[in-house]
Chain A
Amino acid sequence: MSAVTADAAAATRSLVDAKRRQDLIFGVVGIVVLLVVMGLLMTLVADLLIDGMGRISPEFLTSFPSRRAAAAGVLSAWVGTTLVMIVTAAIAVPLGIGAGLYLEEYAAKNVLTDAIEINVSNLAGVPSIIYGLLALGFFVYALDLGQTILVGGLVLSLLILPIVIVATREAVRAIPSGLRESAYGIGANRWQVMWSYILPSARPGILTGAIVGLSRAIGETAPIITIGALTYIAFLPPSPVSANPPWISFEWLNSPFTVMPIQMFNWTSRPQAEFHVNAAATGVLLLAMTLLMNGFAIYLRYRLRRTVRT
C-alpha cells in the first residue's frame, strides 16, 4: 500500500521537476533574447550619443545650415519640425477624434460603416511615400498651395489620421457597456452621453493615441521630401506674432521649410566627416524630442487615469 503511494508521489515530483525545468529554460531564453535586443538598441543609441552629443551647443541650435560644417546649425530644421508638428496636431487630432467618435457612437452599424472601418485600419499601413505623392499631386499642384508648411502639416495629418481614428475607436470601445447603458438610462441624449460620459472616460486612450500618432509623424521623412521640403534653408518662416494689428499672422503657413530628418539626411550624404557629426547631433535632438513627447503621453495618462479610473 505504501509502495503504491510512494510511487505516485515520486511520479508527481518528477512531473513537477520537469515543469520547473521548462519554466527555467523559457526564462533563460527570454532573458537572453531581451539582452540581445536591448544590447543592440543601446549600442545604436550609445553610438549616436557618442558621435553627436559633443556637437550640441547653443550655437548649434541657433545657427542656420552652412557649407562649413563647424558653422552649420539646426535652427531652421527644428523650427520647421516644430511648426509642421503644430499644424499636424491642429488638423489630425480634432479631425481624427471627431471621426472616431462619429463612427463609433453615431453612425449606424451597417455594411458601409464596416467597410469604412476596414479601410481606415488599412490606411494605417500604407507606405508613407504614397501619402507624399498624394499630397504632391493634390495639395501642391491641383490646389496650388505650394511647397509650404501648411502642406507639410496636411500630408502628415493624413498619414496619422488613421492612427488617431483607430485609437479613438478602441478607447471608446474599451468603455464598459454598463457605463453607456447607465448614462442613457438617466435620460441623456446621444450628445450628452458622448460629451459628459464617454469622452471623459476615453480621454486617456484617445490622448495616448494622438501622441503616438504625432511621435510617428515627427520622424517621417519620405512624404516631406516628396512634397518638396527644401534641404537648405537659411531663413525662418515669418513670425506668427507681429507688432501691428492683427497681432497674429498666418503667413508662416505659406512659407517653405525644412525638417530635422531631412537635415540629417542631407548631412549624412556629404563626404566630410564633420557633417556626419552634425547629423548625429541632429539625431540626438530628434530622439530627445520623441522621448519628450512619449514621456508627456505617459505623464498625461497617469494624471488622467487617477481622476477617471474606469
Chain B
Amino acid sequence: MNETLLTKSPAVTTASPVASEAPIRAQVSNLNFWYGKFQALHDVTMPIRDNEVTAIIGPSGCGKSTLLRCFNRIHDLYPGVRYEGAIELMPDGLNLVGRAVDPILVRLMVGMVFQKPNPFPKSIYENVASGLYVRGIRNRSEVEGRVETALKQAAIWDEVKDRLKKPAYELSGGQQQRLCIARALAPEPKLLLLDEPTSALDPIATAKIESLIADLAQDVTIVIVTHNMGQAARISDQTAFMHLGKLIEFGDTEQIFTSPTVEQTRDYITGRFG
C-alpha cells in the first residue's frame, strides 16, 4: 500500500532532490501519544530544521494538531494524556515531552497561535505584553520596545500603532490573528507553532499572514498545521504528511508536491483520498 512509486518504474532516475542541510532545531523521535486508551500518534520521527517552515498536512483526524500540541505540552491541561518518546529541543537536547520536564517551562520557550483568533479581553498593547509580564519583565521601556518589535514582525504595527490602548476586540478577524502572532512572538520563543492559523479568515487576510510567515522564518523556526495544501505548498520548506496518527512521508516541500514517493501521499495531494 505504501510502496514507493519509483520502484514501479524501470531504468534510470535522476538524483534525488537535494535535502535541506539546515541544522536541526527540534528532533521528534519515536513519539507516541495517548488520549486515555486511544493512541493518537504512532512512532513519529521527524526533524524540525532551524529557521525553516515545516508544514504538517493530512486528512481530518490524522493527528496533525495532536502532534503540534505535543510541542508545547498544551495537552497537559486535560486529564488522561500520556507521552512516550521524545521531542528534543536543540542545542541542549531538552526533551519537551519528558515527564520530568515542567510544561510551564516548555511553554516559556515555545509559542502557539490557535485556529480561532483569541486575543485576551484587554488592550492591544496588553495583549502583546502579556507574555512578557508573565515572565516578570516589567521594565516599561523594554516592554514597549519588544511589543513594537513583535507587532512589526507580525506585519500589523502600522495598523495599530496609534491605538495601542484600544481593546483588541475592535480589530478585524485577520488583524486579531496577527495580534495573536505578535503576542506569541514577543517573548522570543525558540519555536513558533501555528495551528491552522488562517482557516477562519478570508483570502486577503490569509494572504497577509502567509506573507508574514515567509519573512518570519528568518527569525524563528515555524511549524504549521494546515488543511490547505496550497498553503503548505506556498509557504513551507519541508512538509510532513500524516494519516491515522502515523507519519507517512516527510521531505522537502518541492519534492512532496511534485513527485511524492509514497502512493498515499500522492493520492492525498491530488484529491484521490476517500
Contacts and interface: CB of A to CB of B under 8 A. Distances in A.
B116 A178 contact: yes
B173 to A, nearest CB: 13
A179 interface: yes
B6 to A, nearest CB: 42
Interface stretch (A114-122, A183-191, A244-252): A183-191
Contacts of B135: 187
A206 to B, nearest CB: 15
B107 A185 contact: yes
Interface string B114-138: 1010101100000000110111000
A25 interface: no
Contacts of B108: 187
B134 A309 contact: no
A187 B132 CA distance: 9
Contact of B114 (A109, A182, A189): A182
B187 interface: yes
Contacts of A216: none
A186 B134 contact: yes
Interface string B181-197: 00110010000000000
B226 to A, nearest CB: 19
Contacts of B107: 184-187
A197 interface: yes
Given A185-B184, A186-B107, A186-B183, A197 B116 contact: no
Interface in A165-194: 176, 178-189, 192
Q: Could you say which of B77, B111, B120 has the most chain A C-beta atoms within 10 Å of its C-beta? A: B120
Nearest to A201: B121
B130 A178 contact: no
B180 A109 contact: no
A181 to B, nearest CB: 6
A196 B129 CA distance: 13
B157 interface: no
A185 B120 contact: no
B35 interface: no
Contacts of A308: 121
B74 A197 contact: no
B222 to A, nearest CB: 15
Contact of B121 (A184, A186, A187, A200): A200
Given A184-B77, A186-B184, A187-B187, A178 B134 contact: no
A178 B130 CA distance: 16
B91 interface: no
B77 A180 contact: yes
Interface residues of A, number: 24
Contacts of B130: 186, 188, 196
B120 A183 contact: yes
A185 B184 CA distance: 8
A181 B183 CA distance: 13
B111 A186 contact: yes
Nearest to B119: A182
A108 B118 CA distance: 26
A179 B116 CA distance: 10
Contacts of A192: 134
Contacts of B104: 187-189
B27 to A, nearest CB: 22
Contacts of A178: 114, 116, 118
B77 A179 contact: no
B56 interface: no
B77 A309 contact: no
B79 interface: yes
Contact of A185 (B112, B121, B169): B112
Contact of B79 (A109, A189, A197): A109
Nearest to B193: A185
B118 A182 contact: yes
B239 interface: no
Interface in B122-169: 130-131, 133-135, 167, 169
A181 B76 CA distance: 11
A266 interface: no
5 contacts: A182-B114, A185-B107, A185-B111, A189-B104, A201-B121
Given A182-B118, A185-B111, A187-B104, 17 more contacts: A109-B79, A179-B118, A179-B120, A180-B77, A181-B74, A182-B112, A182-B120, A184-B77, A185-B107, A185-B114, A186-B183, A187-B131, A188-B104, A188-B130, A188-B134, A192-B134, A308-B121
Interface of A: 108-109, 176, 178-189, 192, 196-197, 200-201, 307-310
Interface of B: 72, 74, 77, 79, 104, 107-108, 111-112, 114, 116, 118, 120-121, 130-131, 133-135, 167, 169, 180, 183-184, 187
Considering the complex of A and B, which 8 residue pairs feature the smallest CB-CB distances, nearest first?
Answer: A178-B118, A187-B108, A186-B131, A187-B107, A188-B134, A185-B112, A182-B118, A308-B121
